[in-house]
Structure 1
Amino acid sequence: MGPAGTPKTVGIVWGLLVLNTLGSAGAKTIVPLPRSLIQLVTMGALAAAFSLALALNPRLRIRAGSFLFLLTLLLVTSVLSSAHLESGFGALFRCARLALFVGTLWLLSRWWDGGPTFVRHHIRMYFAVLGSVVAGLVISPGAALPELYGGRLVGALWPLTPPQIGQYAAVIIGLTVLLVLGRRTDRASAAVVIVPSLVLLALTHTRTATVGLLIGLALAIGSLLLTSAAARRFFTWAVLCAAVAAVAFSSALQSWFLRGQSQENFSNLTGRAKVWDALLAAPRSTVEELFGVGLGDKSFGGLPIDNSWLAVYQEQGLTGVALVAAIVIVLGGVALLRPPSLSRACAIFLISYCAIASYTEAGLGDASPYLLHLAVAASLLAAPAAAGPFATPEGPRQRIPRWAQRTEVS
């Protein structure tokens, strides 16, 4: 058993969910992997995750909450929007995937107790993914830093794009920093995670992940300033270091941030704005306006949408946008109402990171790493299970038969 009575197998289930959300499209790998093979692995991982979660929770004990309730409503909306097959049979397949994904989260909710258990699972799994990126970089630097992506770091063993790698690195850096401030891990172990992840984040040149990390950490640490001396010290030193770096390395930072792009290209978000304008200008029926055209590949006119809100609007309509907004607002509201704690700080970091990244990356409306980040936030905000008459700090106690409750008399 893991912390707070959580089976260690839960970590395996979480790892399978992470594997499912890695995606099947990206950079060219050292050994070419057919997309059909990658999809077989990712879907097999999801099916295995659901089956294993069901085996761990055969009595279907769940912890109902607003996050999973709203996510289920989003699933229903997705099915309604995909039923008329405007996006083809692939939309129904994606609905089935989302159903298994949401079902697995429902089964795992039994172990959501407000503790850092799922934070640790999250860090371990994404650190393992980054380990594969490092292995690819060592084996073939040319494949890991291809000219096709402007020399930005990609996955050479598994087809991961620079934004994906940047996202995974930023999230585990932020969570690990908070665990150190909360004295839930030692500095040496944290350095093993943070230092290489920072290097990988720099090599990806991912602006969204960097901004999300900085703002998310600022908000999370800010929530601890009144109760944690370590947080106050870290915040002070971080501000001083940032000020020095901004003055001493301003030209280098500007060059890294622009990635060699022109001001015009930077201002229209590397061409994203053109896709967004075309999507919003496209004619729609009332049904499409309300429910979208069904789950697709998050593209419009053959180009990626790269905005969670517009992707949801395209695929699940205004109903989907309202549900996704409700998920973020409810989680954020609950986090703000909780007293200062490490769990609250980690939740604030994850929620704020997802909110920031949603502007230039898609994923909030479908099975994705972003929904996993929000699921970890929901697990951190869950109230601890009430102790029953047979509950112990180590977990539920077996009911003692009446005959065994007799006290022996010496």
Structure 2
Amino acid sequence: MDRDLTYAAPPGGPDTAGTRPGAEPRPAGTPKTVGTVWGLLILNTLGSAGARTIIPLPRSLIQMATMGALVSAFVLALVLNIRLRIRASAFLFLLTLLLVLSVISSAHLEAGFGALFRCARLALFVGTLWLLSRWWDGGTTFVRHHIRMYFAVLASVAAGLIVSPGAAMPELYGGRLVGALWPLTPPQIGQYAAVIIGLAVLLLLDRRTTGAGAAAVIVPSLVLLALTHTRTATLGLIIGLALAIGSLVLTSAAARRFFAWAVLCSTAAAVGLSSLLQAWFLRGQSQENFSNLTGRAKVWDALLAAPRTATEQLLGTGLGDKSFGGLPIDNSWLAVYNEQGLAGTAIVAAVIIVLGGVALLRPPSSARACAIFLISYCAIASYTEAGLGDASPYLLHLTVAASLLAAPAAAAPLPAPAAPRRRTPRPAQRTEVA
């Protein structure tokens, strides 16, 4: 734990007349540049594959932008933390173990040289998180950065919808909302919207934000979430908020009121809008297509049935593009098993278990509620989305949860002012007159 904090001395030195003796020193705040570093990490995890944009963007150009953002984030974090002061973290230790395992499994080059490139990316990603851990204090600083940056991403999606509705809701995706300015898929947009909606609701319940400020985030994000028709993000939002608010029910009257109104409105909607909700949930799919999760189950069965050596079962085949047989895996646990083996699956499970266990041991608070929401959302989304084993938005969500669960750094007391030295009077010298 980093206990070497810097404090701003009052004018005139540390021991001035306006300073109360024994007063607690005030730690220096988190630098504003940390928000820039966080935004660059989010840009890196946006990806380069998605729908066609209004202005065609070459994939190589997008990859250069995302990798450049990661390198810039690492350099900025290193400049901010040039003395390499970090906070001890079981979460980051497990991510480092996952990185080492990824390098070992990728060294055989079964997944090609691209696996080593992905390992280098993961190393920069984890290294940047280590450098930022100095400012983990159990507060909501990183939550606010998270909301601002993803809201900016959603603003670009909304701008694309306004500029070109046809490109933003193409028939190729069944009329679901996609990114028309930056290539974003419906599940990505739904994930970003659901996460910032949940965090904004929890901040509002704890009066960490105003009603107008929360509404400015929640209302447009709900509209975009509805237009994506993303079932996983919607279920993750509902279940995650239920668990998070449930952790506050015994200590927060606002949480109890919100929970009661939410149950009442949900019941009324289920009764009065059942046919409309069912149509939105099915997205026009047949019962067979819905039962096999839009074809995902066939890929999962083929992946599990594929022959593997003992080494491949234990260590995997190396970091890849989260696909099998040219089709996306869309399951974090099977993607990790395919690329990092059973050992990687155990490490990822340990990450979820450790964060969840620490959250349960913390006393009720808004920080704990936000952490529970993020952890539960990632656990739910991991069933139909990949990303827990590589640099991804899901690891950023879990990093925010880890920062919320970190104990505040102990304030180092200022050195006691030296007592003024008392001058000893000298004896008067008598002048002898001859």
Q: Secondary structure at the match of 1:160?
A: coil
2:195 is aligned to 171
2:282 is aligned to 258
Within the alignment, does 1:156 sit opposite 2:156 as a pair? no
1:226 is aligned to 250
1:139 is aligned to 163
Q: Secondary structure at the match of 1:29?
A: coil
The unaligned stretches of length 5 or more in structure 1 are 391-398
Structure 1 residue identity aligned to 2:36 = I
Displacement of 1:406: 5.6
| 1:65 aligned residue (79, 85, 89) | 89
2:293 is aligned to 269
Q: Write out per-residue CA displacement over residues 329-380 of structure 1, whole angstroms, 9 at most, x where no aligned residue.
A: 0000000011100000000000000000000000000000000000000000
Q: Secondary structure at the match of 2:407?
A: coil
Structure 2 residue identity aligned to 1:346 = C
Pairs within 5 Å for 1:30-109: 30-109=54-133
Displacement of 1:408: 9.4
1:189 is aligned to 213
- Aligned mates of 2:305, 2:419 — CA distance in 1: 77
Displacement of 1:40: 0.1
Within the alignment, does 1:376 sit opposite 2:400 as a pair? yes
Q: TM-score, normalised by structure 2?
A: 0.90
Q: Secondary structure at the match of 2:413?
A: coil
2:265 is aligned to 241
Structure 1 residue runs of 4+, over 6 Å off? none
Q: Write out per-residue CA displacement over residues 45-68 of structure 1, whole angstroms, 9 at most, x where no aligned residue.
A: 000000000000000000011100
Displacement of 1:76: 0.3
Within the alignment, does 1:356 sit opposite 2:392 as a pair? no
Pairs within 5 Å for 1:271-286: 271-286=295-310
Displacement of 1:155: 0.1
1:393 is aligned to none
- Aligned mates of 1:243, 1:305 — CA distance in 2: 35
| 2:349 aligned residue (319, 325, 340) | 325
Displacement of 1:386: 1.0
Q: Secondary structure at the match of 2:110?
A: coil
Structure 1 vs Structure 2 CA RMSD:
1.5
2:13 is aligned to none
1:394 is aligned to none
The answer to which structure has the higher helix fraction is 1
Relative to structure 1, the CA distance from residue 29 to residue 408 in structure 2 (aligned partners, 3 Å threshold; closer, same or farther) is: farther
Within the alignment, does 1:201 sit opposite 2:225 as a pair? yes
Displacement of 1:79: 0.3
Structure 2 residue identity aligned to 1:170 = A
Q: Secondary structure at the match of 1:289?
A: helix
Structure 1 residue identity aligned to 2:413 = P
Pairs within 5 Å for 1:330-345: 330-345=354-369
- Aligned mates of 1:305, 1:81 — CA distance in 2: 19
| 2:41 aligned residue (17, 24, 48) | 17
Q: Write out per-residue CA displacement over residues 271-320 of structure 1, whole angstroms, 9 at most, x where no aligned residue.
A: 00000000000000011000100000000000000000000000000000
Displacement of 1:4: 6.3
Relative to structure 1, the CA distance from residue 251 to residue 4 in structure 2 (aligned partners, 3 Å threshold; closer, same or farther) is: farther
Q: Write out per-residue CA displacement over residues 9-35 of structure 1, whole angstroms, 9 at most, x where no aligned residue.
A: 000000000000000000000000000
2:138 is aligned to 114
1:385 is aligned to 409
Q: Write out per-residue CA displacement over residues 133-176 of structure 1, whole angstroms, 9 at most, x where no aligned residue.
A: 00100110000000000000000000000000000000000000
Structure 1 residue identity aligned to 2:205 = L
Within the alignment, does 1:180 sit opposite 2:210 as a pair? no
Q: Write out per-residue CA displacement over residues 179-231 of structure 1, whole angstroms, 9 at most, x where no aligned residue.
A: 00011000000000000000000000000000000000000000000000000
- Aligned mates of 1:28, 1:406 — CA distance in 2: 72
- Aligned mates of 2:74, 2:207 — CA distance in 1: 33
- Aligned mates of 1:164, 1:65 — CA distance in 2: 28
2:316 is aligned to 292
Q: TM-score, normalised by structure 1?
A: 0.95
The unaligned stretches of length 5 or more in structure 2 are 1-7, 9-26, 423-434
Displacement of 1:388: 1.3
Displacement of 1:387: 1.4
1:396 is aligned to none
- Aligned mates of 2:105, 2:336 — CA distance in 1: 11
